Amino acid sequence: MFGSTTPASDLWVFGYGSLMWNPGFEFTEAVPARLAGYHRAFCIYSMHYRGTPRAPGLVLGLDRGGACEGIAFRVLSETAARVRHYLRARELVTGVYREAIVPVRVHREGQPMVLALTFIAERAHPAYAGDLDLRRQVRLMRTAAGLAGNNIDYMLSTACHLRLLGIRERRIERLVALMGPHLTSNQASSTQAAQRSADQAANAARTRSMSQNAQRRSVEIRARRLGLAERKRFFYRRALNGG
């Protein structure tokens, strides 16, 4: 089932969201890949980077069911430990994601299946939003903003990059259509600028170039903070991994 054209000590990483266009680590190969059993979804409440505890936004997670098209990155053995440390620091900050090794099908000759590191949604975490109705997602995203910017820009950037990578995500496309009336001219301009930048990167070596040139009513919801016992429960993986 699994080929042998890649050294066993090399590390594969499966990206399904911002890791696809902004991995932030060195890799020697990036190929389209498909993960069965999980799908890409706006299923995580963001209370810092794209929202606040009083007005949380939504960010992507890898949730159970369906399948997900993404990018598999091959990392050489000599940098694998450093890349793992970087990814754990990036993804395991709040414990809402958990590290997993999953089989993915890669579009390359000689090795159709590889085992890859990825991060999936932790359904028991208070920040797990689940399968929200699309209109509910629109209401959350249209007013949410955090340390990294507003939630609408995050969603539009996701849709833009997925389209440039040739990945059809009909649920996200529908979300963009529903969001249309709530977009401001500034947000539309920033999205067009992001698309022009991504277009330029795609001309040479799409995935690698993008990774190197990386970039009103309130909603009645309150995402609760983690208590001490929950922090111990969800942060233990990072502690064990030296993150």
Active site residues: 91
CA-based torsion, 153, 159, 163, 166: positive or negative: positive
Element (H, E) at 64: strand 57-75
Element (H, E) at 184: none
DSSP label at 38? E
Give the whole-angstrom CA distance, residue 75 versus residue 234.
27
- Asked whether 67 and 36 are in contact (CB, 8 A), the reply is yes
134-141 helix and 151-164 helix, angle to the nearest 10 degrees:
120
- How far apart are the two ends of the chain, measured CA to CA in Å? 33
Tokens of 197: 């930048």
Tokens of 118: 């990825």
Give the C-alpha distances (Å, rounded to integers) separating 80 from 8, 47, 83, 147.
12, 31, 5, 30
CA angle 10, 14, 19 (to 5 degrees): 110
- Around Cβ 147, how many Cβ atoms within 10 Å? 10
